[in-house]
A = this chain, B = another copy of it.
Amino acid sequence: MSEKDFESLEKVLETYVPEAERREVRRLLFGKELKKLDFPQSAIDAAVEQDFDLKGYVFEASPEQLRPPRTVRVGLIQNKIVLPTDAPVLEQITALHKRVGEMVEVAAMCGVNIVCFQEAWTMPFAFCTREREPWTEFAESAEDGLTTRFCIQSTYYMEGNTGHPVFQTQFGKIAVNICYGRHHPLNWLMYSVNGAEIIFNPSATVGLLSEPMWPIEARNAAIANHCFTCAINRVGTEYFKNEFTSGDGKKAHNDFGHFYGSSYVAAPDGSRSPGLSRTRDGLLVAEMDLNLNRQVADKWNFKMTGRYEMYAEELKKAVQHDFKPNIVKE
């Protein structure tokens, strides 16, 4: 069983583990059982015809007397590159726009309000080659570039000196924690402190090194911050014409490794959706009642019990050059 052929954890459990035990296994791995979303037949047919994974789940909250449910549907899209990495740049971009555009159409059929793509979705993940050309040609103006015009969405990519902005939309307060940012629990916290109800994490990550971390980090952030998190990873293996090394002493190679997809949504109550495929393009639709955030906060109180004033003071001390760690010696 090669790493690239392994379809998904969920598939293996479904194939081999008997129903009674599987229910317990799913509870431990995924939390509360989620209802599946019903999609129109046209959406299901389109996903089959266009050969991508289509999944949908509902995160429910309890009904309340004074607040109506705040239901929103988000779509996570993971996709392979379409053309080889040495095809002309504009053709590569156009092919990706077409492919992802089709998937967005299906998302619309599924009633999705907010869609989030994988990191750097309009290009191959060429950073690994450490070459400049032709990859810098994929860069676009965030204000009026091809892709912005294609999407007609607000910008997600911000400079690193603007703090942790949260975008108030008609579907709730959302934030975007890009790729490597998921490794820092404090990034997630800061978005949450600014009021984020859903935090997206568009990512591009490969193989053996990060895969066991993948189901942990965004999910921990949903738990710790009483919010929803959406982790989206690129899928597929991308071949580059010029071989390159990865600074790990291994031989030069023409691909960065297998991007393992496995996009998922995590909820504040510790539950999560199954992941999309490790090998196929996919659209994951999650319907969530944002009231769940408040309800879980009322039950667990992590945000209320967090000693942020103390942390602020301790961190401030910790970054001083003469910081003395609090170590008790024997």
Binding site for B on A (CB under 8 A): 1, 3, 6, 9, 12-13, 15-18, 20-21, 23-25, 27-32, 154, 163-170, 173, 180, 183-186, 189-190, 193-195, 208, 210-213, 215-217, 219-220, 223-224, 270-271, 300, 302, 305-316, 318-319, 325-330
Q: Which residues of B contact A29 (CB under 8 A)?
A: 9, 29, 212
Q: B21 to A328, Cβ gap below 8 A?
A: no
Report chain B residues within 8 Å CB of A27: 208, 211-212
Query: In the bound complex, do residue B186 and residue A328 qualify as a contact, i.e. CB atoms below 8 Å apart?
Result: no
- List 13 extra interface pairs beyond A12-B17, A217-B220, CB under 8 A: A9-B28, A15-B21, A16-B21, A30-B212, A185-B185, A194-B325, A195-B327, A216-B223, A309-B315, A309-B319, A312-B313, A312-B318, A313-B316
| CB contact between A319 and one of B3, B17, B20, B308 (< 8 Å): that residue | B308
Which residue in B164, B170, B185 is a CB contact (below 8 Å) of A224? B185
Q: Are A326 and B164 in contact (CB under 8 A)?
A: yes
Are the C-beta atoms of B215 and A28 separated by less than 8 Å? Answer: yes
Known: A9-B29, A216-B220, A217-B223. A170 touches B312 (CB 8 A): no
5 closest pairs, A vs B, by CB? A185-B185, A31-B212, A220-B220, A312-B315, A312-B316
Query: Which residue of chain B lies nearest to A300 when distances are taken between CB atoms in the complex?
Result: B183
**Number of identical monomers bound together in the oligomeric complex:** 2
Q: Which residues of B contact A307 (CB under 8 A)?
A: 184, 186
The interface residues of chain B lying within 8 Å CB-to-CB of A18 are 16
Known: A12-B17, A326-B194, A327-B195. A213 touches B270 (CB 8 A): yes
Give the distance to chain B from A117, nearest Cβ to Cβ, in Å.
20
Closest to A11 in B: B21
Given A220-B185, A306-B184: A212 touches B271 (CB 8 Å cut-off) = yes
Distance to closest chain B CB from A307 (angstroms): 8
Q: Which residues of B contact A173 (CB under 8 A)?
A: 327
Q: Is the CB of A23 within 8 A of B1?
A: yes
26 contacts between A and B (CB under 8 A): A1-B23, A6-B24, A12-B25, A17-B17, A27-B212, A29-B29, A31-B212, A154-B330, A164-B326, A165-B326, A166-B326, A168-B328, A169-B330, A183-B302, A184-B307, A186-B307, A193-B314, A216-B220, A220-B220, A308-B318, A308-B319, A309-B315, A309-B319, A312-B313, A312-B315, A316-B316
